[in-house]
Structure 1
Amino acid sequence: MSIINNHQKDFDKAVEHFISDIAALKTGRANPAVLDSIKVESYGTFLPINQLASIAVPEPRSILIQPWDKSLINNIDKAIQGSDLGLSPTNEGDTIRIVIPPMTEEARKEIVKSLHKKMEEVRIVIRSVRDEAKEEILAAEKNKKFGEDEKYNLIEKLDKITGDYNNKIKEIGEKKEKEIMTV
């Protein structure tokens, strides 16, 4: 039983990573998470925008960035323009506004394709965690830590947990796909 519990956190970590990974996918609506990957040069180092400014979504298709230190506004503007996100920030003096352009059907389909790739990647991680746990179960049974019945019970439970996590990934992915395809 503890073998499965030991791997539970690996399953959870894979799902958490997947959720944070797909949060940055464009949906055609303003989402502050799209800025998470952008680092801004400030105070001799590079920091994420959310550590240098407050980020708000005043309208469904615009993001408003208010730097706490107004002297960093040009650095933030430059970092957003230099990113590969295709965003066009507008420097309004003490704030930066980003208007999210509407996405074409083709762009939406490309993002869905990327989502499906990420879903498959996390399924592979979940399978490898399952395989690792199964190897430990088989080794423990071979070393006489428990009997054959217990081995089959643990493998059955492991398969159920793996299926539950795969279903969770599918649900999250379908929800995100619907969000992306909604105009």
Structure 2
Amino acid sequence: MDVPSPGGHVRVTIRGELDLSAVPALERALRKAVARATRGVDLDLSGTAFCDCAGLNALLAARRHALERGRTFTIRSAGPAVRRLLTATGTWPLFTPGEHALNHDEQALRNEVVQLRRAMQTRPAIDQARGILMATFALSPEDAWDVLVRISQNTNTKLHVLAGRLVGTAQDGGLPEGLRQQVTAVLATLPASSDAEEPSPGAGAAP
């Protein structure tokens, strides 16, 4: 921790790993820095090799503590691990006032996080829909996936929306005739080694 600058800022350099075991010492150091500063606290996290949610929560609490006392709380530099965590959690702008644009890597990471969250939310319905197709039409997992994807493309319907409809109709008493016809049409386009005959109504999966 540096002495206050002529401008009233205290610079705190943090090296090593910020995890649950480091939180008590981190909290004490940051509160001391806020007390010594007259304008704000500047953090140098370029040497921080790891930061988990406990470390992030400590930083957020210190920022709130500083703002309540009229001080700024700014990250001036950060290593990849810290930048990745703060970008993924959407907290990076809180510590970097004046930075309005993300660089290409940070934007790509944020997009990836959004996609992963969406996938986690929609995956259960898609897996259930695949299971229904496998049981109803005696399909392999791969063919059931191909059927879902192709019907999604043919009907211009998002995959998770189609899966949700399929699960809903199956729970209401079986697949409607229109959907059965769509599945049959797609099955006819699959390679001969993957074709499966549609069982008669009410029949289950092939043994």
Report TM bin, short chain: under 0.3
Give the number of the structure whose residues are more often helix, by fraction.
Answer: 1
The one of the two structures with greater contact order (alpha-carbon pairs below 8 A, sep at least 6) is 1
- Structure whose CA Rg is larger: 2
TM-score for the superposition, normalised by structure 2: 0.25
TM-score for the superposition, normalised by structure 1: 0.28
